[in-house]
Amino acid sequence: MSEPILSLDPSYLDGVVSPAQLLACAANATDAYRRLQTKNCPGSDFLGWMDLPETMHPVIPDIQSTANEIRLRDPVHVVIGIGGSYLGARCVIEALRPTFAPQPHATEIIYAGHHLSAPYAAELLAWLEKRDFSVNVISKSGTTTEPAVWFRMIKGLLAKKYGEASGMRRIIATTDAQKGTLRELANTFELKTYPVPDDVGGRYSVFTAVGLLPIAVAGIDIEQLLAGARDLRTRCLRTAFESNPVLQYAAARHLLYRAGKQVEVFANFHPHLHSLTEWLKQLFGESEGKEGRGIFPAGCDYTTDLHSVGQYVQEGLRVLFETFLVVDNSGGDVTVPSDPQDADGLNFLAGKPLEEVNRMAFEGTRIAHAEGGVPNLSWHLPALDAYHLGALLYAFEVACAVSGLLNGVNPFDQPGVEAYKKNMFALLGKPGFERRSAALRQRVSAAGRRVAF
């Protein structure tokens, strides 16, 4: 067989999930994957993501052409979106782009529309006013509150800077192919558009134009990203459970949950992977957390967080398990220097590659946490590049879908997401929410008893 694209190490599940228990779950996990393939499962109208590694290929030249135009013209590109509309792109861009030394004349990617912070808005609008920029607004309906509010503000700034007609030409709309407020605006002003497929939910959209256009603007090879996902999909389809890390991971999560492990900590040892853990939190949280069940997804950046919540992980409530994200060859040739005084007592590290020190921190951590009652698994990437990251993202999408089915929920809906919006609309006086508004305002007033010095 060719070189592994990804590998899963379940060595530290002993004591909670045995190899025999894992194999006993093979039939259920395999059946769940088969139900996804045959579209015989809850949410079957939203399974278009499974075929994206193949079906997106014809659109790639157009996406690359648009991305090149943006990169040649605009020093700044603003991505307006929330949830899956921006997290997939952001996790790839931050994983693969240098933190401090971007390529010459690279377009800076800025994110907006994922919160409602007034100080952030004031700072960003003032900063953009002094720079040339373009916008990619990503919303299937065009009415999602946070992106829509931000789009109003930034669209107004574009008109102020460039005039309405020229400003509108700097907008790309990634939205529904046929309907919705944003689609109507795009048709009226003849904006460049890309479709959000009807059969792909936001959190599974990284391999659509939703994710691929911002990633391409950042200068990342989207063909390699898709190639990794495509090869992972092929192997997953052809590989039985006993040698299939994706299905084994889904089964292990299910068994850990049944054993009382209700929180999954996604942990990495590289700052570049911070936004990957944020994407994972959204993918698994929105897919599984419903009907009073589901694993709560959390994220840690090690070794940093080993000096904070690491204490809780080591000795707190034993409701946790960890999934480590490990890069086997992360690059970098930094070594620990020698110090003549050796005041810190670290000369035993002198000459060692810093990456080796980091790796031993990982090995020491997973042993310590397992001995402390926190079982863990480790996903290993041979290298942190577009190909292997594409494979990892697709692997997690499949594993999340299989996990949801194993737990008896629809992994592709999100009915609870609307609850806060209804209350917010009512409190802000949206027409049609008058009765709800009165009741909520009474609750806000009654709850407003503060204790202060």
**Whether residue 293 sits in one domain with residue 198:** no
- Residue 438 maps to a domain: no
**Whether residue 350 sits in one domain with residue 385:** yes
Long-range pairs for 193-201 at CB < 8 Å and ≥24 separation?
A: 194/59, 194/63, 196/138, 196/140, 197/48, 198/45, 198/48, 199/45, 199/46, 199/47, 199/48, 199/49, 200/46, 200/48, 200/49, 200/52, 201/46, 201/49, 201/84, 201/412, 201/414
pLDDT of residue 105 exceeding 90: no
pLDDT of residue 69 exceeding 90: yes
- Of 371, 421, 422, 434, the active-site residue reads 421
Q: In this predicted model, what pLDDT tens digit does every residue of 261-299 receive, in sequence order?
A: 999 999 999 999 999 999 999 999 999 999 999 999 999
Catalytic residue flag (residue 192): no
Among 21-30, 66-75, 350-359, 431-440, the range scoring the smallest mean pLDDT is 431-440
- Residue 448 maps to a domain: no
**Whether residue 108 sits in one domain with residue 20:** no
- Residue 151 maps to a domain: yes
- Of 3, 105, 130, 307, the active-site residue reads 307
Query: Which of the listed residues 178, 201, 220 is the one where a domain comes to its end?
Result: 220
Query: Which of the listed residues 177, 200, 220 is the one where a domain comes to its end?
Result: 220
**Whether residue 193 sits in one domain with residue 91:** yes
pLDDT, residue 102, reads: 64
- Residue 392 maps to a domain: yes
- Residue 432 maps to a domain: no
**Whether residue 332 sits in one domain with residue 252:** yes
**Whether residue 255 sits in one domain with residue 181:** no
Catalytic residue flag (residue 421): yes
Containing H/E element for 324?
Answer: strand 320-327
pLDDT, residue 418, reads: 76
pLDDT of residue 43 exceeding 80: yes
Lookup result for tokens 């994706």: 246
Containing H/E element for 426?
Answer: helix 419-427
**Whether residue 95 sits in one domain with residue 14:** no
Over residues 31-59, the mean pLDDT reads 96
CA distance 256 to 187: 50
Structure-derived torsion over alpha carbons of residues 175, 178, 183, 186, reported in degrees to the nearest 10: 110
**Whether residue 199 sits in one domain with residue 266:** no
| Cis amide linkage into residue 303, ω under 30° from 0 | yes
CA angle 299, 305, 311 (to 5 degrees): 105
CATH classification of the domain holding 248:
3.40.50.10490
Q: pLDDT grade, residue 1 (50/70/90)?
A: very low
Among 246-250, 339-343, 349-353, 421-425, the range scoring the smallest mean pLDDT is 421-425
Catalytic residue flag (residue 307): yes
**Whether residue 385 sits in one domain with residue 299:** yes
- Residue 430 maps to a domain: no
Q: In this predicted model, what pLDDT tens digit does every residue of 122-170 receive, in sequence order?
A: 999 999 999 999 999 999 988 899 999 999 999 999 999 999 999 999 9
Q: By percentage, how much of the chain surpasses pLDDT 70? A: 98
pLDDT, residue 448, reads: 64
**Whether residue 377 sits in one domain with residue 268:** yes
Q: How many CB atoms lie within 10 A of CB 352?
A: 13
Residues counted in the chain = 453
Query: Which of the listed residues 220, 237, 267 is the one where a domain comes to its end?
Result: 220
pLDDT of residue 200 exceeding 60: yes
In Å, what is the CA distance from 234 to each residue of 78, 153, 238? Answer: 35, 44, 6
- Of 146, 286, 288, 322, the active-site residue reads 286
Over residues 420-429, the mean pLDDT reads 85
**Whether residue 341 sits in one domain with residue 374:** yes
- Residue 2 maps to a domain: no
Domain that holds residue 347: 7-40+225-406
pLDDT, residue 332, reads: 77
Of residues 301 and 446, the one with the higher pLDDT is 301
Q: Total domain count for the chain?
A: 2
Among 137-141, 233-237, 447-451, the range scoring the smallest mean pLDDT is 447-451
- Residue 163 maps to a domain: yes
pLDDT, residue 193, reads: 97
pLDDT of residue 2 exceeding 80: no
CA distance 290 to 42: 14
**Whether residue 293 sits in one domain with residue 151:** no
Q: In this predicted model, what pLDDT tens digit does every residue of 320-350 receive, in sequence order?
A: 999 999 999 887 789 999 999 999 999 999 9
Over residues 365-385, the mean pLDDT reads 97
Average pLDDT of the chain is: 94
